[in-house]
Chains A and B, each alone.
Chain A
Amino acid sequence: MDRRIRRLGLALSALMMLLFAQVSYVQVFAASRIADNPANAYRQIVAEYDVFRGPILASDGTTALALSRRTKGTFTYQRRYPNGPLYAGLTGFYSRVFGKTELERSMNAYLNGDAGELAAQTFADLLLGRPKKGGAVVTTIDPIIQAAAERALGSNPGAVVAMQPSTGDIIALVSNPSYDPNALTAGTSDEIKTAWDQLSADPSNPLVARSNDELFPPGSTFKIITAAAALENGYGPDSAWPNPRELDLPLSTGTLQNFGGAWCAGGAKQITLAHAFQISCNVTFGEVGLALGPEKLQSQAEAFGFCRTNPPVQTDCASPTFQGEPWTMPFVTGRFPEAAYFQGNDPLLAISSIGQDNVLANPIQMALVASAIANGGIQMQPRLVSEIRDPNGRVVKTFPPEPYGTPISPQTAARMTAFMTSVTQPGGTAYPYAAIPGVTVAGKTGTAQHGDGADPHAWFVAFAPAGHPQIVVAVIVLDGGSLGSEATGGHVAAPIAKIVIEAALQAGLG
């Protein structure tokens, strides 16, 4: 009987072994697959909030745009945004009701410690029974310049984007009106839902960033692209263009007029491309666009990052947003219609050449255009995250700058720099609004019409110092800002860019 009792022992041990194997399978080997079941939502959220989520830091490595702090509730850690509305467009929010957006979403694996680079740290935490800690995301945002941009924009609806042309680093990104991500993060689920409903219903659209999520007609700032296309296609800066008071648009009864109906260059018979750029002569750029033809203009716009549409059939394009690596700043790309759209419709080509009709852009797109000029023709990817640090402050991952494209030659870049410099000089449309003593600023104004009766959007796109550019700034003030129908890009937007450039140069970027 003893032999059988021993066998029975083996058999019962085998049953126990099956149980050990099964609990190991359920609790470890298949655990994440089982726990990921949507029916397990409550535990998933509780577990997510058990992680000491890493902070999102400014480029100085200390200023926190987002951080976590311990609470006593069911959810162990609470996300806080110390300067919520100012950085909302960058950080996004981390809400247990509405999920994650922007950096909170794209950098999630680093922030919550799941990324491989942080595995050693999180495994040690697990073994020692400490709460899991995520890494710190160090952004390229300079808090001083960001604050200057916020101050400069004031209460005007619009946006400011500042970049470093040599790296593509986004150093400031401000959008008005904004929202407070704390409202979507803290409080009860009902409070969060109420806050969301209010923000969603707000006609000023605070949840959408004007800097990079929306599109507007770029107006005369688009002449940078039209001029670059002319220079790339053999027209010199001194090429002379007929200078009528109005441009008779072919195949139509309409005309293309200059700003305020004025006659460019005091009514001279001809005008050079350089001069036309300085004073932003619509008639000349209409002529330039017609002379180049739709293919060349469209391909130049595409080289700068504008994607192709074919209105009204196809108002959107194949890749409507720039979604690079997670460390880049995603944005809705500019739009320029493809050649077929202009087939037999020259008037639209002339109007598109001055950034109206179906041409669309936003401040970050225009900042990228200017950064290609500032950087000798090479456009860099818009970098938002420079490195990841583990909870002890060690750098575990860096994201080096990467080129995006080469839309123009170095020669064209140099000529465009001269064009844009003249804009801020006496005689230019931005003079004296963007003039900074001792610093040469290169820029282009824009006053974009949009819809009958609406006040124009005021634009200014600039970089400085022109000789060795350190900062690119793009500003849009919606509906003319405080000046309303009287607004021009030079009058309204250029002073804002000037303040940001001054702050940047003072902060030592120059």
Chain B
Amino acid sequence: MSSALEIRTPRRRTGLLLLLMGLAIGFGAYANVGLARRGRIPGNLAFYVALIGGGFLIAYVVQRKVAPHADAVFLPVAAVLAVIGFAMIFRLVRPTPDGSLAAEQATWMMIGLAGFIGTLLFVRDDRQLDSFTYTIGLAGLVLLLLPILPGIGQTINGARLWVGIGPISFQPSEFGKILVVVFLASYLESKRELLSTGMGRFGIPRVKDLGPLLLAWGTSLVILFAEKDLGASLLYFGVFVVMLWVATGRPVYLVMGLLLFAAGSGVGYVVLPHVQQRIDYWLHALEAKHVYELGYGQIAQGQFGLASGGLVGTGLGAGSPTLIPYAETDFIFAAIGEELGLLGTCAVLLLYVVILDRGLRLAVERTDGFGKLLAAGLTTSIVLQTFVIVGGVTRLIPLTGITLPFVSYGGSSLVANFVILALLVRVSAGPWQRKLKSADG
């Protein structure tokens, strides 16, 4: 542990340097878009550098203050992803008199950074969260299922995952996801012994031990059938099964998880035309008789964008990514691929690999089960979400609409991801801080 501490300490200044470099890359892209599209650097560049750059620097300073031994890499990685996303949104959607999508995204980024700072300030020690296991679990479940409620639930693009209160509408499931991971870390840590040793005959878990698994499965099915949110359903169930397995070490949970997933998707496929369509779009996207149809065409346009980008891309502002439907949200990865090429898409994917590496590394470094499970769960949720959307956009797997963390346009998603980031930062800071304090005293 002490050797890890020694390695960690000098990284703190590196964090600032990385953050500045990340911001430079992102705003370089923003300036580039202006030059390519309108022949000049956007007039509001300085404003956004001050606003977003300032926001990240404040977040950095707060992190140094309240989590001084935290992993310094998370914030710069998020900064690159978020500002590149901001530049792409600016490139894809021209500002209109009614407003600018990029300006909205900048606003959400500020709220996200406020969420990041607030989370760091509010959660001084991640173990605080371990004390409210069931409250958090219930709150998470409520948030996940809130859109079903008549009156406040809204259906947008065929999926019922929005809640409207007054003029504001948001996706509570983005936040429910975080609470569910926190709940699972806490719950599984406390029930770990029971779940990993209790065995029925033939090595099959007893029904009462299967309760949580079945409950999670049920929740996923509700999300799938009532909210028609394929991606989220897949994501929650995946994260849950992974955490269950990491906590208990029982491969049987993986097997049963897969079986339940197969059963759920099988029933979904038969019952929901929505799901059948997704599979069909995926399989036949590029066929001559379908390629001009909506659904197939969206995947096809994403493919065309990626393929036309090739190795180095057309250059920012020089491609035709506006031909891709939903390029600023679900398909932003294809737009990046068209204009920045394979080099750009690989760079973006590598940033998620960095999150994967840092997140699981700190899960291993933490000595307590709760911290391990929380870090592993949050990391898994980001990586799985990335896999689901990038896999869908690149036609590796059927497309399910979900945002690309930090990059896609979308307020709830951006804010929720900054909260996840804050939790990872907090988990990375936690034990070291306490050790230093006790050493001082």
A-side contacts of B394, CB under 8 Å: 19, 22-23, 26
When A and B form their complex, which 10 residue pairs have the shortest distance between CB atoms, in order from nearest? Answer: A34-B307, A35-B307, A31-B307, A40-B304, A39-B291, A27-B342, A22-B396, A9-B360, A22-B394, A15-B387
Q: Contacts A6-B364, A129-B312: A19 and B246 contacting too (C-beta < 8 A)? A: no
Name the interface residues of B299-356: CB closer than 8 Å to any CB of A.
300, 303-312, 314, 318-320, 323, 337, 341-342, 345-346, 349, 352-353, 356
Partner pick for A27 among B242, B286, B306, B320, CB 8 A cutoff: B306
**A16 near B353: Cβ-Cβ < 8 Å:** yes
Q: Do the beta carbons of A34 and B345 come within 8 Å of each other?
A: no
Interface residues of A in 13-65 (CB under 8 A from B): 13, 15-16, 18-20, 22-24, 26-28, 30-32, 34-35, 37-40, 42-43, 46-47, 50
Looking at the assembled complex, report how far the CB atom of A418 sits from the nearest CB atom of chain B, in whole angstroms. Answer: 64
A43, B304: Cα distance in complex, Å:
8
A40 touches B308 (CB 8 A): yes
- Interchain CA distance A18-B395 in the complex, whole Å: 11
Contact A27 B345, beta carbon cutoff 8 Å = yes
In the complex, the answer to whether B323 meets A8 with C-beta atoms within 8 Å is no
A42 touches which of B312, B320, B337, B384 (Cβ 8 Å): B320
Smallest CB separation, A18 vs chain B (Å): 6
Is A190 part of the contact surface with B, judged by Cβ < 8 Å? no
Number of residues on chain A facing chain B (CB within 8 A): 36
Q: Are A23 and B306 in contact (CB under 8 A)?
A: yes
B246 with A126: CB separation less than 8 A: no
Contact of A19 among B292, B323, B349, B360 (CB under 8 A): B349
Q: Decide if B400 is an interface residue (CB 8 Å cutoff).
A: no
> Given A23-B306, A27-B306, A27-B341, does the pair A39, B372 have CB atoms closer than 8 Å?
no
* Nearest A residue (CB) for B39: A72
CB of B298, distance to nearest CB on chain A (Å): 12
Complex CA distance for A129 and B246, rounded to whole angstroms: 47
CB neighbours (8 Å) of B311 from chain A are 27-28, 126
Give which listed residue, B249, B304, B345, B383, contacts A12 with CB less than 8 A. B383
Number of interface residues of B (CB under 8 A): 54
The reply on B399 being an interface residue by CB < 8 A is no
Q: Give B365's nearest chain A residue, CB to CB.
A: A2
Whether, in the assembled complex, B288 has its beta carbon less than 8 Å from a beta carbon of chain A, the answer is yes
Of A4, A20, A23, A30, chain B has the most CB atoms within 10 Å of the CB of A23
Q: Would you give the shortest CB distance from B234 to chain A, in whole angstroms?
A: 13
Q: Which residues of A contact B360 (CB under 8 A)?
A: 5-6, 8-9, 12
Q: Are B349 and A4 in contact (CB under 8 A)?
A: no
Q: Which of B286, B372, B384, B395 contacts A37 (CB 8 A)?
A: B286
26 residue pairs bridging A and B, Cβ less than 8 Å apart: A1-B369, A5-B363, A9-B357, A12-B356, A12-B383, A12-B384, A16-B352, A16-B386, A18-B391, A19-B386, A19-B394, A19-B396, A20-B349, A22-B394, A22-B396, A23-B394, A26-B306, A27-B306, A31-B310, A35-B307, A37-B291, A37-B300, A39-B300, A39-B304, A40-B307, A43-B319
A26 and B303 form a contact (CB under 8 A): yes
Measured between C-beta atoms, what is the minimum distance from B399 to chain A in Å? 13
Asked if A4 and B245 sit within 8 Å, CB to CB, the answer is yes
Complex: A101 Cα to B430 Cα, angstroms: 71
- Chain B 238-267 against A: per-residue CB contact (8 Å), 1 yes, 0 no? 000010011101000000000000000000
- CB nearest to B290 among chain A residues: A39
Cβ-defined contact, A16 with B300, below 8 A: no
Known A8-B376, A47-B308: A23·B345 in contact at CB below 8 Å: yes
Q: Which residues of A contact B353 (CB under 8 A)?
A: 13, 16
Q: With the chains together, A129 CA to B343 CA distance in Å?
A: 13
How many whole Å from A56's CB to the nearest CB in chain B? 27
Beta-carbon nearest neighbor of B251 in chain A = A4
Residue of A nearest to B318 (CB): A50
Q: Which residues of B contact A5 (CB under 8 A)?
A: 246, 360, 363-364, 372, 376
Chain A residues close to B by CB (< 8 Å) = 1-2, 4-6, 8-9, 12-13, 15-16, 18-20, 22-24, 26-28, 30-32, 34-35, 37-40, 42-43, 46-47, 50, 126, 129
Given the interface pairs A37-B304, A43-B308, A129-B312, the reply to whether A1 lies near B372 with Cβ below 8 Å is yes
Known A1-B249, A13-B356, A42-B323: A8·B304 in contact at CB below 8 Å: no
At the interface, yes or no: B63 with Cβ under 8 Å from chain A? Answer: no
Which one of A6, A27, A31, A37 has the greatest number of beta carbons of chain B within 10 Å?
A27
- Are B247 and A1 in contact, CB atoms less than 8 angstroms apart? yes
Q: Residues of B contacting A8 with CB < 8 Å? A: 242, 246, 360, 376, 380
Q: For the complex, give the distance between the alpha carbons of A221 and B8 in Å.
A: 95
Most buried by A among B304, B318, B394: B304
Provide the bound-state CA to CA distance between A39 and B36, in Å. Answer: 26
Asked if residues A43 and B342 are in contact (CB atoms below 8 Å), the reply is: no
User: Within the assembled complex, what's the spacing in Å between the Cα atoms of A34 and B312?
Assistant: 17
Nearest neighbor of B321 in chain A, beta-carbon distance: A43
Contacts of B390 in A (CB 8 A): 19, 23
Cα distance, A13 to B387, chains bound together (Å): 10
CB-defined contacts of A43 to chain B, threshold 8 Å: 304-305, 308, 319-320, 323
Asked whether any CB of chain A lies closer than 8 Å to the CB of B297, the reply is yes
User: When the two chains form their complex, are residues A26 and B387 in contact, meaning their CB atoms are under 8 A apart?
Assistant: no
Q: Which of B246, B300, B352, B380 contacts A1 (CB 8 A)?
A: B246
For the complex, give the distance between the alpha carbons of A503 and B394 in Å: 63
What's the nearest-Cβ distance from chain A to residue B340, in Å? 10
- Let me know if A4 and B249 touch, CB within 8 A: yes
- Chain A residue at minimal CB-CB distance from B192: A1
Q: A5-B363, A34-B303, A37-B300 are in contact. Are A20 and B312 (CB under 8 A)?
A: no
Q: Chain A residues near B357 (CB, 8 Å)?
A: 9
**Contact A39 B292, CB 8 Å, known A16-B353, A19-B391, A23-B337:** yes
Q: How far is the CA of A50 from the CA of B315 in the complex (A)?
A: 12
- Contact residues in B for A40 (Cβ distance below 8 Å): 300, 304, 307-308
